[in-house]
Chain A
Amino acid sequence: MKQLFALALTAMVFHPTAAAMAADAARGEQLYGSRCAGCHSVEVNRIGPKHRGVFDREAGTVPDYDYSDALRDSKVVWDEASLDAWLTKPQDFIPGQKMFFSLRNAEERADIIAYLQQVSE
């Protein structure tokens, strides 16, 4: 029983990298609604900045959003790799910024990133 539990726990925690999996933008939209929409919206700034056009955009540049200095000065450009690192643990990727929500599931990250790419096209 203990071994089964350990296996299940391992399966939950250790996933292949987001880039290694085929991402599903439709599932990403659903996940965005449950995981991200508490603070974000595609079209308007809320607790967090809006996401329309986030791909290829320099971090900290959405007009009328009050960014942390750390994010504004980061010079990060959002793409698949940087978004994956950001969503995995934002405070490690850009120390001093103000988003502390992290998505530990690589498959969910990949799907959400695919959706963000879709709303940026």
Chain B
Amino acid sequence: MSEEIIQSRRRFLTDGSKATLSTAAVVLLAGCGGAVAQARMDSDPAQDAAILNVALGLEHEAINAYQIGAESGLLQQPVLETAVLFQSHHKAHRDALVDAIRSLGGTPVEEKSISEYAKELQADTIGSQGDILMLAARLEKGAANAYLGVIPSFTDPTLAQVSGRLAADETMHWTVLASALGQQVPQQALSFGA
């Protein structure tokens, strides 16, 4: 068997594995197999896993931020109930991202301790429900923009669509939080992403 044929077969097997890994990741993130397009043969699972790992870091941070808020004793109903609901959304994002990263052959980034997140988010400066809402709104807006900002970097376009869906969830959270804070609706169009 010629070296060319051997290399061709190796390339076929490698490309096929890439497509299978990537498709599995998309199915896991999209939550339904039927509507998922086939992954492209030229996708780069390692790069896509690295992008999803940054997203996972954001989700870990958001979950812990809401936990810090819930445990602070500063949140009143119905704000507390909404915060716990939003935290459950982030937990669902986290679980889907962990599975997707593993299916792409990556290693999911570990969650830090809640005290580390408290330090990073400067939780010692929080003294009111409004402070918690401001922090949550800032993180949600940042996450929405982060998800939008990485879309061009995905090598699998279907994962880019999933990133758009995650951004939509974060934008929905930000809208509710900004409304609760009485913040002005953005006056310019295209205020998210760049």
Residues of chain A at the chain B interface (Cβ within 8 Å):
33-39, 41, 43-47, 91, 98-105, 108
Contacts and interface: CB of A to CB of B under 8 A. Distances in A.
B47 A38 contact: no
Contacts of A98: 50, 53-54
B183 interface: no
A26 B122 CA distance: 23
Contacts of B192: 34
B50 A38 contact: no
A28 to B, nearest CB: 13
Contact of A38 (B119, B122, B141, B153): B141
Contacts of A103: 149, 194
The 9 closest A-B pairs by CB, nearest first: A38-B142, A100-B153, A38-B146, A101-B149, A47-B57, A100-B150, A100-B51, A37-B142, A105-B194
Interface string B117-152: 001111000000000000000110111111001101
B47 A104 contact: no
20 contacts: A34-B145, A37-B142, A38-B142, A38-B144, A39-B57, A39-B146, A41-B120, A47-B54, A47-B57, A98-B53, A100-B51, A100-B54, A101-B54, A101-B153, A102-B149, A102-B150, A102-B152, A102-B153, A104-B152, A108-B194
Given A101-B149, A104-B194, A34 B142 contact: yes
Interface string B158-194: 0000000000000000000000000000000001101
B21 interface: no
A105 B152 CA distance: 13
A101 B50 CA distance: 12
Interface residues of B, number: 27
Contacts of A104: 152, 194
Contacts of B58: 38-39, 47
Contacts of B194: 35, 103-105, 108
Contacts of B53: 98
Contacts of A36: 142
Contact of B139 (A38, A45, A99): A38
A33 B138 contact: yes
Of listed A35, A105, A108, residue having the most chain B CB within 10 A: A35
B156 interface: no
Given A37-B142, A38-B141, A108-B194, A46 B61 contact: yes
